[in-house]
């Protein structure tokens, strides 16, 4: 569907949505993986990974702003967005999907991978399992020591637990929620994300994500990601939202597991989904990290 931003959307947002973008599809172990692309092919790259139940367009308004400097790829993990669904899912499989779209995305050299929430767990696994293929990793509010909010919601039969068909697009958009919920959202961002979250089905519209994703991780994805923290060798940064899920204690724990050589940066006034309430603060943090990494030597774990 053709999307038109809300009338009150600021200029920076509408300019980001106007950046030319492409689509790519790559087969990964029999499943078609979709991704959005921005920027000039053959330049250094950024790969953005969404959270559980989300999709590539959660990142569009942030990722597209890097198109002048980077080849940018935003992946739809299997079971999400416009990618195919699988009979079973694993964090390891998702890391392979991240590397597959990176390889198919005309990126020069190893990219920096940026992941939010569950996508942060995937980013950690990608950095650990595909070390030479990743130049850096930035994780946004992914609490490795805490239960996953997506899994908890599925168990409670809340947002991810009740399959439902909405008769109209307007009805679907009116029921769009995030997991976990937070106190503040930008309406124009939420409207854009919601419009890319539904697909037509018999009798109306349904959310794109596969609920079986959450049924298969009984212990939570954080328990799968935890062993990979100590195996990360590339440059790494953790962004923790002030009102998010990564507390100061969790940040210190992850800092220790990462060898005490990675920055832990608080995003002020941000909720767990920083791209939905404080995207410019998130964008500034990303730009600052990338600029610093261009002009400094990394600290190495002992």
Is the residue at 4 inside a domain? no
Give 20's Cβ-side CA count (13 Å radius): 5
Number of domains in the chain: 1
User: Exposed, middle or buried by CB within 10 Å (0-12, 13-18, 19+), for 225?
Assistant: buried
Kindly tell me if the per-residue pLDDT of 152 is higher than 60: no
Is the residue at 104 inside a domain? yes
Is the residue at 5 inside a domain? no
Tell me the average pLDDT of the chain. 92
List of residues 6+ apart from 268 with CB closer than 8 A? 242, 278, 281
Rounded-to-integer distance, Cα 157 and Cα 28, Å: 31
Q: How far is CA 183 from CA 59, 103, 139, 190, 270, in A?
A: 20, 38, 22, 13, 10
For 235-279, what is each residue's pLDDT tens digit?
999 999 999 999 999 999 999 999 999 999 999 999 999 999 999
For 201-247, what is each residue's pLDDT tens digit?
999 999 999 988 887 775 567 778 899 999 999 999 999 999 999 99
Q: Which domain holds residue 245?
A: 11-290
Is the residue at 302 inside a domain? no
Is the residue at 232 inside a domain? yes
| CATH number of domain containing 25 | 3.40.50.1820
DSSP notation for 181-236:
--S---HHHHHHHHHTSEEEETTEEEESS-THHHHT-TT-HHHHHHHHHTT--SEE
Is the residue at 60 inside a domain? yes
For 98-147, what is each residue's pLDDT tens digit?
999 999 999 999 999 999 999 999 999 999 999 999 999 999 999 987 65
Kindly tell me if the per-residue pLDDT of 300 is higher than 90: no
Is the residue at 163 inside a domain? yes
Kindly tell me if the per-residue pLDDT of 5 is higher than 90: yes
- The per-residue pLDDT for 160 is 53
Is the residue at 267 inside a domain? yes
């Amino acid at each position: 569907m053709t999307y038109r931003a809300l009338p009150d959307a600021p200029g920076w947002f509408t300019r980001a949505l106007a950046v030319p973008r492409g689509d790519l599809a790559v087969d990964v172990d029999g499943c078609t993986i979709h991704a959005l692309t921005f920027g000039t092919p053959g330049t250094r790259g950024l790969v953005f990974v969404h959270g559980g139940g989300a999709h590539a367009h959660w990142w569009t308004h942030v990722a597209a702003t890097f198109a002048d400097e980077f080849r940018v790829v935003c992946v739809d993990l299997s079971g999400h967005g416009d990618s195919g669904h699988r009979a079973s899912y694993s964090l390891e499989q998702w890391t392979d999907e991240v590397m597959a779209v990176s390889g198919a995305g005309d990126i020069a050299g190893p990219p920096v991978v940026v992941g939010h929430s569950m996508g942060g767990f995937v980013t950690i696994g990608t950095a650990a399992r595909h070390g030479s293929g990743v130049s850096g990793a930035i994780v946004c509010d992914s609490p490795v020591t805490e239960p996953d909010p997506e899994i908890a919601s599925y168990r409670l039969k809340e947002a991810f637990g009740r399959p439902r068909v909405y008769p109209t697009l307007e009805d679907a958009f009116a029921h769009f929620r995030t997991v976990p919920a937070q106190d503040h959202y930008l309406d124009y961002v939420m409207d854009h994300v919601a419009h890319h979250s539904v697909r037509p089905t018999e009798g109306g519209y349904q959310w794109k994500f596969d609920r079986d994703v959450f049924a298969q991780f009984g212990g939570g994805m954080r328990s799968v990601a935890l062993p990979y923290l100590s195996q990360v060798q590339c440059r790494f940064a953790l962004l923790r939202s002030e009102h998010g899920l990564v507390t100061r204690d969790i940040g210190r724990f992850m800092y220790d597991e990462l060898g005490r050589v990675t920055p832990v940066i608080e995003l002020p006034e941000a909720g767990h989904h920083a791209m939905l309430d404080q995207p410019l603060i998130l964008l500034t943090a990303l730009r600052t990290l990338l600029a610093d990494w261009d002009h400094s030597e990394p600290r190495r774990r002992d």
